[in-house]
């Protein structure tokens, strides 16, 4: 059984999750369509998911990835004050 975290829920009820296989750490996206459209979930490789577009579900994944970085790489670093 994979572990999962909700990334985004659309106004029409589709839901995207970030999933991870606990045995090997393999991460992927789970898309759960709303019930009226069939509701059959699918698993999508992370690279394929990010290449599909820039929708709010993609932005949610990118924001989550961004939280893994303590200091943004291009943030201005405070210069030490001279004595």
- 78, part of any domain: no
pLDDT given for residue 38 in this prediction:
86
Which of 49, 15, 24, 69 shows the shortest CA–CA distance to 3? Answer: 24
Which of 24, 25, 41 shows the shortest CA–CA distance to 33? Answer: 41
- 27, part of any domain: yes
- 43, part of any domain: yes
- 28, part of any domain: yes
Q: Residue ranges of the chain with pLDDT lower than 70?
A: 1-2, 72-83
Q: How many domains does the chain have?
A: 1
Cite the beta strand spans of 1-83 per DSSP E: 3-9, 15-20, 27-32, 42-45
- 74, part of any domain: no
- 69, part of any domain: no
- Residues of the domain holding 43: 3-64
- Considering the entire predicted model, what is its pTM? 0.76
């Amino acid at each position: 059984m994979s572990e999962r975290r909700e990334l985004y829920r659309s106004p029409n009820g589709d839901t995207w999750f970030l999933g991870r296989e606990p045995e090997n750490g393999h991460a992927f996206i789970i898309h759960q369509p709303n019930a009226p459209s069939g509701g059959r979930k699918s698993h999508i490789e992370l690279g394929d998911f990010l290449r599909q577009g820039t929708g709010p579900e993609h932005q949610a994944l990118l924001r989550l990835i961004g939280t893994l970085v303590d200091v943004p790489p291009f943030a201005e670093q405070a210069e030490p004050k001279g004595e």
